[in-house]
Amino acid sequence: MRNVNCLILDDEPMAARLLADYALSMPNLNLIYAGTSVKEALNYLHEENIQLIILDIQMPEINGIELMKLLGTRYDYIISSAYSEYALDSYQFQVVDYLLKPINLDRFYQAIFKYINWKSLQPIIADKDYLQIRADRKDYRIAFDEIVLLEGMKDYIQVILANQKLLVLETMKDIQQRLPEQRFIRIHRSYILPKNSIRSIEGNQVRHANGNCYPIGDTFKDGLLSWFNS
């Protein structure tokens, strides 16, 4: 299994630093952020492809349960908490382990190896025929065939279906990695289209099956033309 991008969020600076030291000693973890700020953590989640969040439950800005409700099931979680009473509530999400503070290095290693073993048994995402997203505090499974296009809107993505639009707190980079390359193509920093929806390329625009035209970004033009003319 390739290295896992990891984020640590804890309201205690010393606890965050300790877990960061543990994570940096693990060959399978790539630590992206460790700190106490929910705002900073969300910025990293928007910009980086994070798989695992090691999360405290009791935090001043938003508690861990509320944060997992907001972020949904596109992330995996390991909980670090001084309180055992939140364990049952937390397992409604993709929580692999629940670490009770104080956490020693052996217990941390145990949780990470448990996560890696669990992850290795999960089905490969490319084999799925749906995109799993969280919008309006609900989890959705959207069949790839239902997707008309995806439009980036700063910190959000609008997943446009035939009769519905869903606003998702996610980056284009992250969601693109969860779409099958053989079925979707990014044509612009703000647009991902199903390949079978592209009817023609007209100058610096793509004509979609819905009749609308969408701009082609310079970064994505060569890849688009290479696929279209193949």
**pLDDT at site 137:** 80
Main-chain phi, psi angles of 48, to 5 degrees: -115, 160
Q: What is the mean pLDDT of the chain?
A: 89
> 116 and 54, same structural domain?
yes
**pLDDT at site 16:** 96
Pick the last residue of a domain from 96, 120, 144: 120
**pLDDT at site 125:** 46
pLDDT tier at 38, thresholds 50, 70, 90? very high
Residue 60 has pLDDT above 90, yes or no: no
> 116 and 9, same structural domain?
yes
CA 6 remoteness from chain centre: 11
Residues 201-216: what's their mean pLDDT?
94
> 113 and 11, same structural domain?
yes
Helical (H) or strand (E) element with 212: none
Is 88 or 127 the better-scoring residue by pLDDT? Answer: 88
Which DSSP string corresponds to 107-171? HHHHHHHHHHHHHHTSPPGGG-SEEEEEETTEEEEEEGGGEEEEEEETTEEEEEESS-EEEES--
Q: Quote the number of domains for the chain.
A: 2
Under DSSP, the state recorded for 197 is G
Residue 78 has pLDDT above 50, yes or no: yes
Is 71 exposed, middle or buried, given 0-12, 13-18 or 19+ CB atoms closer than 10 A? buried
Q: Are 96 and 33 in contact (CB under 8 A)?
A: no
pLDDT tier at 181, thresholds 50, 70, 90? confident
Name the range with the highest mean pLDDT among 81-85, 135-139, 195-199. Answer: 195-199
> Alpha carbon of 88 to those of 79, 85, 94, 153, 158: distances in Å?
11, 7, 12, 36, 33
Pick the last residue of a domain from 88, 120, 152: 120
Residue for token digits 């239902």? 146
